[in-house]
Structures are given as C-alpha cells and as structure tokens.
Amino acid sequence: MTPHIRVDDESVPDVPVELLELAVRRTLEAEGRQDVEISVALLPDEEMRRLNHEFLGKDGTTDVLAFSLGDAGGTVGDIYLGYGQAARQARELGVPLTEELARLAIHGTLHVLGHDHPDGPERLESPMFELQERLVADLMEDVGAG
C-alpha cells in the first residue's frame, strides 16, 4: 500500500503544499510505514485555539495537533498546523516559515505514528525531537533550503 497524503490549504494562503507532502512522505519512509493515510490542514489561530480547548482542554492556540484515528489495516491520522503560531515561531527561531511548517508536519506525523515526548524543556532532548530535527535538516538540505 502506498501512503496517501492530503494537504488542505484552503484556510491559509501561500502554503508550500508540495513541501508539506514531502515532509510527511519522508517521515513515513524513515519509519518504514506505507500503510498510512494522513491529512494535513493549516488553520488560523482562532480555529487552533478552539480545537486545542475542545480536544485537549487547553486554553490558547498551539502549533500542531495530531490525531491517530485507528489502525485497521493501516494508520489514519489528521494533523492540524497552526499557521499563525508557526509564523511566530519561525520569526523567533530565525528560520523560514516553510521550514517551520515542514517541522510541524514532521512532528505531527511522528505523533500519528505513535511517537511521544515529555512536556517542558526536556522534550528538546527526547528521541522524538532528535529524529524530528534530523528529518527536518535532511529535508531542507535536499530541497535546497538548508
């Protein structure tokens, strides 16, 4: 089975759809997964705030929410990227917005596949974050943006 990846960019203009699809595909390849169907939606802050509250009981916007929807014959997952939060983080980190969006797509994909990390600063030293950052670096180098 070949992975099926869909990026919904209707809510936000100028989304690097091909880069986000490639980010998800590369993550699936790195994890040896082909039996996956993933949708990625980019949402404004207000919608991310609502979803964060509704599903996680947290107030405020967030950068990524990922939901694994089951494993009957293959993993299905939905990833929501907070475009406004991603833009702010990109500015804070001094990286292009496209790189931060790719990072969040990879992060969400890893969550859908079952990876997790601790909360707080120690998350930056977790195996999931190390894998995420390696995938981001490889991707950005390969597309000529790193």
Per-residue pLDDT of the chain in tens (146 residues, 90 and over written 9)? 678 888 987 777 778 899 999 999 999 999 999 888 999 999 999 999 999 999 999 999 999 999 998 766 667 899 999 999 999 999 999 999 999 999 999 999 999 999 998 888 888 889 999 999 999 999 999 998 65
Q: List all residues 6 or more positions away from 111 whose beta carbon is below 8 Å from its beta carbon.
A: 64, 66, 68, 77, 79
Question: Which residues, at least 6 apart from 114, have a Cβ–Cβ distance to it below 8 Å?
Answer: 68
The Cα 36–Cα 48 span in angstroms is: 24
**Nearest-10 crossing angle of helices 17-30, 97-112:** 40
> Model-level pTM?
0.92
Q: Which pLDDT score, from 0 to 100, does residue 145 have?
A: 61
- Structural domains in the chain, CATH included, are 4-142 (3.40.390.30)
The 8-class DSSP code of residue 125 comes to: G
